Amino acid sequence: MSDTFDLIVIGAGPGGYECAIRASQLGMSVACVEKRDALGGTCLNVGCIPSKALLHASELFAETDHFEKMGIKVGKPKLDLGAMQNFKQQAIDGNTQGIEFLFKKNKIEWVKGTGTLKGAGEVEVALTEGGTRTLKASDIVLATGSDVAHLPGIDVDEKQIVSSTGALELEKVPGKLVVVGGGVIGLELGSVWNRLGSEVTVVEFLPAILPGMDGEVAKTFQRILKKQKFALKLGSKVTGVEKSGKGLKVSIEPAKGGDAEVLDADVVLVCIGRVAYTEGLGLDKAGVEVDERGRIKVDAHLKTNVDGVHAIGDAIIGPMLAHKAMEEGVVLAERLAGQSPHMNYDVIPGVVYTQPEVASVGKTEEELKEAGIEYRAGKFPFTANGRAKANQQTDGFVKILADKKTDKVLGVHIIGTQAGEMIHEAVTVMEFGGAAEDIARTCHAHPTLSEAVKEAALAVDGRPLHM
């Protein structure tokens, strides 16, 4: 067994494992150091995949409320949370084992343990089975991802006060769940437990949920969440959480100051964001620079300040999304193989997997206004879309923002059932530098929800057909 490779990747999350696979496809010998006992990182083990499995199962559970009007009589559904958690575990296992298979197929060596950078070209691994192993390679990729951010003074025990990881593992449906943070992960996990019967209160510091999203979309989504019986405490901050008997008392107050309020909770989910994870990586000693938020500094080619050391994914600047990490992994592997790939950071979609889903790509109206870019907006509601009407899933709309002079698509924002699938039409058009007229002139199958995208494109030019 050789200890010398062309490439060492530390971290087998979506960024690291895709980088390793692509590098191997391009003929490099690759070792991937991962300390978890399963490959796939945050995404496959405690992130995207388990949350989507629970979102899917809980959505079907809640959907039974609407069965009767469709002529389906099944009675009141009963929840077997243990079986649902088992369904989630199968999703994790199927996916993590899939990566293990791909590593074997591509002859990537999984070195199980914690990797520490010893300087250019060298990584020391504290092996899971005990002992150490020193690996050498001309190129090293740091893909160590991120960890949950903590609220000072609030200790997460992953039972009653939980992070996203604990919220995926609850053994009982909490009667009252307080979610601290109205971002993507808080709203997704809040939705899971809301559908299974929890009374959910979301406390958000800012005046609106989903910071950074298009304002009109966020407002519409707030209205829909309220219809789903979410309580939203916006512009509010949590100042403390105390145990009280079997439950918890959550103290909140207006962000701008004012009267305090106490909320009762059985479980508190702290979901205020994530921070780059570089613990034990030895960046200091190896001389690798980090920014003020602890993220590894890289240049436009994903290179750190130390020769032969590169970084990708959640550990560096940019949206903390699995597909962003994956693209960087592939682009980096291809660059190391001497190719000249390109990554377009302006066209990275974002999806909130609630019901309805929220999906966006490119600029929001607020960003265009701030940048002084003149644009035309075309909007089409699902209430006027035949398929949405047939399915009685008419919440939401598609909004397309296009440059006023050139008609080039600058941003697309969708709130509606299957928005996360529909957004890719916009992503492709934007990647090709297309115009709203290109979408408007493209034949869309009928009856589909995607026809609303075409209609929104027609609306950019003031000529929607079904409105």
Q: Is 109 in the site for ligand FAD (CB under 6 A)?
A: no
**Which of residues 8, 9, 10, 137 is near ligand FAD by CB under 6 A?**
10
Q: Is 34 in the site for ligand FAD (CB under 6 A)?
A: yes
The interface region with ligand FAD, picked from 12-20, 152-160, 300-308, 356-364 by CB under 6 A, is 12-20
- Quote the CA–CA distance of 426 and 361 in Å, as a whole number: 8
**Which of residues 9, 13, 213, 418 is near ligand FAD by CB under 6 A?**
13
**Which of residues 85, 114, 198, 360 is near ligand FAD by CB under 6 A?**
114
The interface region with ligand FAD, picked from 102-110, 301-309, 316-324, 457-465 by CB under 6 A, is 316-324
Q: Is 145 in the site for ligand FAD (CB under 6 A)?
A: yes
Tokens for 439, please give them: 């979408």
Q: Is 178 in the site for ligand FAD (CB under 6 A)?
A: no
Min separation Cβ 269 and ligand FAD, Å? 10
Min separation Cβ 24 and ligand FAD, Å? 17
Q: Which residue's CB atom is positioned nearest to ligand FAD?
A: 145
Cβ atoms of 301 and 312 within 8 Å: the answer is no
The interface region with ligand FAD, picked from 241-249, 287-295, 317-325, 335-343 by CB under 6 A, is 317-325
**Which of residues 9, 33, 202, 452 is near ligand FAD by CB under 6 A?**
33
Q: Is 280 in the site for ligand FAD (CB under 6 A)?
A: yes
Min separation Cβ 298 and ligand FAD, Å? 13
**Which of residues 26, 36, 306, 448 is near ligand FAD by CB under 6 A?**
36
Binding mask 234-273 for ligand FAD (x = CB under 6 A): ----------------------------------------
Restricting to residues 45-74, name those near ligand FAD by CB under 6 A: 46-48, 51
Q: Is 43 in the site for ligand FAD (CB under 6 A)?
A: yes
**Which active-site residues does the annotation give?**
446
The interface region with ligand FAD, picked from 5-13, 246-254, 257-265, 459-467 by CB under 6 A, is 5-13
Q: Is 304 in the site for ligand FAD (CB under 6 A)?
A: no
The interface region with ligand FAD, picked from 8-16, 194-202, 298-306, 447-455 by CB under 6 A, is 8-16
Cβ atoms of 453 and 425 within 8 Å: the answer is yes
CB closer to ligand FAD, 45 vs 222: 45
Rg, Å, the chain Cα set:
24
Which residues of this chain interact with ligand FAD, rule CB under 6 A? Answer: 10-16, 33-36, 41-43, 46-48, 51, 114-115, 143-146, 164, 185, 277, 280-281, 313-315, 320-323, 325, 353
